[in-house]
């Protein structure tokens, strides 16, 4: 006898019209369906009063003794302990939250631990089923996470398999896609079959098996970099979601097998696909717990790596503007922030570059005013002459601003979008932000959804600023007065800021206050990240 065999006897007291009907109530808990019982009889594993009977419909007399030999295939899986997150279980089924990175069952490749091994350790009753896929009624790809259904007895497995074939089990996935589909909702019905050029892959192609998916964009990145989509599948073809989304030009982020050279790698370590929802009718209502709902629905939020990937893709640098009156120490603060590793932008430096020989500002002023401010184009703009004229003629000042400010806006936009890409913060020093730029952010804002930047004001009493301007810059009284006239009053300017840093003390004082500012900025960054996380969580729930 096979050491894996199990033999037990049944005494029939009242008789039954058929042999297979006699065995149903006794073998059902062993995981045997009616069809499997018939096969057991036909294969000679049932004896009635010591004689083998191979006819399932044979009559059984009252008092008959039936012996059954249950054979376990020697190749059955061995249980292996491992983490298993169970969302629900009863006598007939279990619903799991499958982690990414583990195969559902053994395949043709090298032997490895699978979800099936862990299932056997958590649900010993699955050991009554044969083969290498006990209880598995549908599968998720190794690197796909999410909600998954398992049958805990053979009868349940057969019913659920039929429900899947009839498309009575509803499945919805969440996916992070490269780009944003032009149509925010759509149905894809491209057939799927084995790739003729590579038999280890599937392909969305004519001649394959019918496949249908419906997608809906839940979030579209304003810059068009990525999108979050909910995808319902009406068939269960291998790699269906991955192939269907690729077929419309928007492959999954992290896709390795079907990746497109059109899209660069986003740093994801797996395809960003998560089985989010399962809805179905209970396959065996008599096995359901008393009072439980027979129309079952389960949702499972995405794991941390999925959410982190989404947040990293929609994350933009926290944009900061440093402003203040002349001599307050804006540039010193900018240097301190740069030394702390933050990318910085100086409007004054950009304008100085524009006024250099061959600069865009030099060409603009020469084209408009001739040689008045560019007597020697090889030397750039005569900034002293230009400054004096702007202080003397308000209309000329506005005209020069109309020429130069669009150049500054363009440079600032490039800084926000390119130079600061992938960073937590981006700091721009703009002395006349409130006076000339506030309300005009669209010209320099990459994403209108970001809103206005966070404004950091540097406060310093006029007496201290005056001393610095005369001692360090050599400004004369008329220059100081003219520059002050262009500014909002300091109290008004500081009142409009989101954060005010006092810089009336020493350099050591500034360094300490800069550390306080960075702590404030990190908290603001955390708040923005939390807001994005809540936003995505709300999308999942809805």
| Neighbouring C-alpha atoms within 13 Å toward the C-beta of 225 | 18
CA 361 to chain centre: 43
How many Cβ atoms are within 10 Å of 467's Cβ, its own excluded? 12
CA 337 to chain centre: 31
Residues belonging to the chain: 542
Largest pairwise CA distance in the chain: 122
Query: For 371, left (φ over 0), alpha (ψ -120 to 50), or beta?
Result: alpha
CB of 493 closer than 8 Å to CB of 430: no
3-class secondary-structure state, position 181: coil
CB of 320 closer than 8 Å to CB of 326: no
Q: Cα separation of 508 and 308, whole Å?
A: 38
3-class secondary-structure state, position 166: coil
Q: Cα separation of 140 and 148, whole Å?
A: 8
Q: Cα separation of 80 and 366, whole Å?
A: 80
DSSP assignment, residue 471?
I
Residues 6+ apart with CB under 8 A from 122: 84, 86
| Alpha-carbon distances, residue 90 vs 120, 170, 294 (angstroms) | 16, 20, 12
3-class secondary-structure state, position 386: helix
Q: Cα separation of 230 and 234, whole Å?
A: 13
DSSP assignment, residue 194?
E
> Of 356, 381, 355, which is closest to residue 370 (Cα–Cα)?
381
Q: Cα separation of 237 and 9, whole Å?
A: 44
From first CA to last CA, the distance across the chain in angstroms is 58
Phi first, then psi: what are they for 257, rounded to 5°? Answer: -75, -35
So which residues are the catalytic ones? 141
| Alpha-carbon distances, residue 185 vs 19, 213, 214, 231, 463 (angstroms) | 55, 11, 8, 10, 63
Q: Cα separation of 488 and 455, whole Å?
A: 15
Residues 6+ apart with CB under 8 A from 404: 351, 354, 361, 364
CB of 170 closer than 8 Å to CB of 277: yes
CB of 434 closer than 8 Å to CB of 488: yes
């Amino acid at each position: 006898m096979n050491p894996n065999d199990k033999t037990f006897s049944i005494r029939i007291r009242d008789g039954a019209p058929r042999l297979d009907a006699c065995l149903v109530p006794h073998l059902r808990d062993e995981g045997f369906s009616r069809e499997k019982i018939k096969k057991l009889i036909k294969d000679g594993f049932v004896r009635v009063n010591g004689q083998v009977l191979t006819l399932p419909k044979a009559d059984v007399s009252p008092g008959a003794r039936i012996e059954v030999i249950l054979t376990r295939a020697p190749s059955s899986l061995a249980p292996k302990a491992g983490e298993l997150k169970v969302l629900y279980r009863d006598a007939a089924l279990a619903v799991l939250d499958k982690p990414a990175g583990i195969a559902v069952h053994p395949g043709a490749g090298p032997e490895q631990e699978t979800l099936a091994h862990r299932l056997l350790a958590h649900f010993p009753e699955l050991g009554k089923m044969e083969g290498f896929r006990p209880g598995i009624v549908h599968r998720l790809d190794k690197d796909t996470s999410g909600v998954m259904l398992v049958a805990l007895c053979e009868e349940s497995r057969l019913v659920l398999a039929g429900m899947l074939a009839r498309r009575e089990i509803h499945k919805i996935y969440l996916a992070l896609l490269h780009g944003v589909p032009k149509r925010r909702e759509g149905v894809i019905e491209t057939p799927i079959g084995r790739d003729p050029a590579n038999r280890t892959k599937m392909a969305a192609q004519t001649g394959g098996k019918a496949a249908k998916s419906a997608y809906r964009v839940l979030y579209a990145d304003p810059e068009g970099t990525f999108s979050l989509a909910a995808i319902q599948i009406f068939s269960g073809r291998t790699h269906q979601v991955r192939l269907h989304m690729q077929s419309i030009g928007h492959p999954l982020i992290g896709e390795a097998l079907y990746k497109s050279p059109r899209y660069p790698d986003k740093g994801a370590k797996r395809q960003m696909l998560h089985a989010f929802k399962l809805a179905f009718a209970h396959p065996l209502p008599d096995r359901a717990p008393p009072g439980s709902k027979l129309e079952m629905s389960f949702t499972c939020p995405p794991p941390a790596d999925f959410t982190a990937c989404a947040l990293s893709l929609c994350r933009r640098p926290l944009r900061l503007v440093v402003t203040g009156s002349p001599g307050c120490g804006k540039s010193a603060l900018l240097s301190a922030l740069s030394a702390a590793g933050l990318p910085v932008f100086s409007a004054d430096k950009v304008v100085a570059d524009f006024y250099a020989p061959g600069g865009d500002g030099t060409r603009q002023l020469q084209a408009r005013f001739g040689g008045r401010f560019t007597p020697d184009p090889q030397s750039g703009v005569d900034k002293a002459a230009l400054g004096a004229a702007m202080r003397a003629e308000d209309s000329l000042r506005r005209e020069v601003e109309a020429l130069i400010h669009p150049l500054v806006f363009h440079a600032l936009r490039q800084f926000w979008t390119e130079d600061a890409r992938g960073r937590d913060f981006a700091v721009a020093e703009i002395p006349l932000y409130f006076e000339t730029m506030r309300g005009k952010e669209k010209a320099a804002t990459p994403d209108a959804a970001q809103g206005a930047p966070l404004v950091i004001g540097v406060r310093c009493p006029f007496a201290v600023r005056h001393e610095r301007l005369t001692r360090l810059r050599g400004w004369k009284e008329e220059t100081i007065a003219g520059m002050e006239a262009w500014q909002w009053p300091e109290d008004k300017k500081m009142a409009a800021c989101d954060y005010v840093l006092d810089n009336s003390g020493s350099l050591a004082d500034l360094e300490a206050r800069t550390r306080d500012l960075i702590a404030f900025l990190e908290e603001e960054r955390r708040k923005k990240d939390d807001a994005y996380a809540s936003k995505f969580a709300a999308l999942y729930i809805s």
